[in-house]
């Protein structure tokens, strides 16, 4: 399943105040970039995840946000450096941009 045009438009609207954004479709989802650096991923199932590196990882964990993990058959679970945005940020561009700016600062 690929992300819909509506899901892409919503994600771009949420982060519009960041300024110049670019996107790239990948694996049925969408990578979101600011100044050439990926900071968020829109998954093919519609989840919007924010990249966390350095101090931002601990902050996202402390917020109780769900980290993206996957498991291949016969392998141990693997965690990626992306966390789901809180539900409140999905409806509040100000909160989404605040979190995105903090994530971008640690890229």
Block means of pLDDT (10 residues each) for the chain, 107 residues, are 92 96 94 97 96 95 96 95 97 97 95
Averaged pLDDT of the chain: 95
**According to DSSP H, which parts of the chain are helical?**
5-14, 55-62, 87-90, 93-105
Q: Which of 32, 26, 28, 25 minimizes the C-alpha distance to 11? A: 32
- Order across the sheet with 67-70: list the strands: 21-26, 29-34, 37-42, 48-51, 78-84, 67-70
Contact 52, 82 (CB under 8 A): yes
SS3 20: coil
**pTM score, whole prediction:** 0.92
Reading the block at residue 82, the tokens are: 């992306």
Instruction: Tell me the C-alpha distance between 53 and 59, whole Å.
Output: 10
| Mode of pairing for the β-strands spanning 21-26 and 29-34 | antiparallel
Instruction: Tell me the C-alpha distance between 52 and 82, whole Å.
Output: 6
Q: What is the pLDDT of residue 27?
A: 85
pLDDT digits over 91-103, tens only?
A: 999 999 999 999 9
The full set of domain ranges for the chain reads 1-52+66-83
Q: What is the percent of the chain where pLDDT is above 90?
A: 96
């Amino acid at each position: 399943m690929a992300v819909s045009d509506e899901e892409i438009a919503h994600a771009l609207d949420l982060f519009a105040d960041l300024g110049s954004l670019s996107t790239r479709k990948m694996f049925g989802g969408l990578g979101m970039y600011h100044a050439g650096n990926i900071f968020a991923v829109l998954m093919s199932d519609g989840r919007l995840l924010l990249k966390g590196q350095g101090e931002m990882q601990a902050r996202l964990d402390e917020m109780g946000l769900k980290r993206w993990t996957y498991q291949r058959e016969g392998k141990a679970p693997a965690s990626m450096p992306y966390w789901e945005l809180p539900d409140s940020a999905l409806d509040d561009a100000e909160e989404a941009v605040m979190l995105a700016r903090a994530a971008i600062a640690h890229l």
